Amino acid sequence: MNPVALLSSIDGLRAAEVRLLEEAAKLGPVHLLLPSDAAVCALSGQAPRFPFAERLYLARALRYVERVCPFENATDLARLSTLLGTHPAFCLAGTGLESVALDPSVERRALPQAHLAGFPGPGPFAPSGRPRVVVTGCYDWLHSGHLAFFEEAASLGDLYVCLGNDINIASLKGPGHPLFPASERRYLVGSIRFVTQALVSTGMGQLDAEEEILNVIRPALYAVNEDGHKPEKAVFCERHGIRYVVLKRIPKEGLAARSSTSLRGF
């Protein structure tokens, strides 16, 4: 099957862009055309918010992307078969790039907006038989720091992510939180290839995922990073025979440290 070429800068993880990738992946293997920082400027008229190395990490982490094809110059888009090493079935363009000139020999398509609505699935995906690992959190502005944490946690076993429900996040973090509703946050987390399943917790407080942990996931390990460590979590794990693991908050090599608070601005 010929690949589907999809042009996107992946300048941060946004539900609309990921939905486009998901729907495109139903039509064929997605080869993502990822522009360099200079190419983003040429195509969109403004510099990307995130540097190329970080955007590449985000793109490669998305389960709907089979292959990432970086390119340096906007003029490369006139020769898609050369850029991809194969002739694509057709090409799609992501948000803000719909009017960019592409190889005229390749059919250009736009998916119906009705196909891109809502936040469906994904998962759960088939477990590997490794130990189950659970992590919890808000994940309100999904960024490379979260992905690095997921990647490390997933090295310990099949990763299950419990996201705080909207009411609990608001009670813990205050007005304006969460920035994105639970359905959207769960969708984005579930789109990451390190994650076996993303769920929304039903409880309140720091242990809002107690029901999901004990009666749905039944993990062998509960992983937190240093910021997420709470004594009550350690006590909970000891009481229920779950191994409690505190991971260092270390960015992916070569990338800047990120936090939802700094990105959000409050």
Closest CA to 105 of 82, 72, 128: 82
Q: Is 60 helix (H, G, I), strand (E, B) or coil?
A: helix
- Above 90 in pLDDT, residue 225? yes
Q: Strand order of the sheet with strand 132-137? A: 195-200, 158-163, 132-137, 221-225, 243-247
Across the chain, which distance is largest between two alpha carbons, in Å? Answer: 64
Distance CA 258, CA 13 (A): 13
Per-residue pLDDT band for 189 (boundaries 50, 70, 90) equals: very high
pLDDT recorded at residue 49: 96
Report the b/e string of 13-24 with b at 16+ CB within 10 A: bbbebbbbbbbb
- Above 90 in pLDDT, residue 129? no
Write down the mean pLDDT value for the chain.
Answer: 95
pTM for the whole structure: 0.95
Distance CA 78, CA 101 (A): 7
Q: How many C-beta atoms lie closer than 10 Å to residue 127's C-beta?
A: 13
Closest CA to 58 of 108, 7, 27, 14: 14
Instruction: Please state, for a pLDDT cut of 90, what percent of the chain lies above it.
Output: 87
CB 143 within 8 A of CB 260: yes
Q: What is the CA radius of gyration of the chain?
A: 20
- Complete domains list, the chain, with CATH: 4-111 (3.40.50.620), 132-264 (3.40.50.620)
Instruction: Please state, for a pLDDT cut of 70, what percent of the chain lies above it.
Output: 99
- Above 70 in pLDDT, residue 123? no
CB 239 within 8 A of CB 228: no
Task: Give tens-digit pLDDT for 39-90.
Answer: 999 999 999 999 999 999 999 999 999 999 999 999 999 999 999 999 999 9
- Pairing state of beta strands 67-71 and 90-93? unpaired
- Above 90 in pLDDT, residue 233? yes
Per-residue pLDDT band for 115 (boundaries 50, 70, 90) equals: confident
pLDDT recorded at residue 186: 97
Task: Give tens-digit pLDDT for 155-178.
Answer: 999 999 999 999 999 999 999 999
**Distance of alpha carbon 85 from the chain centroid:** 27
pLDDT recorded at residue 122: 65
- Above 80 in pLDDT, residue 247? yes
Kindly give the residue spans of alpha helices, DSSP state H, lying in the chain: 15-25, 37-44, 52-61, 80-84, 144-154, 166-173, 182-190, 210-212, 231-240, 260-264
pLDDT recorded at residue 265: 77
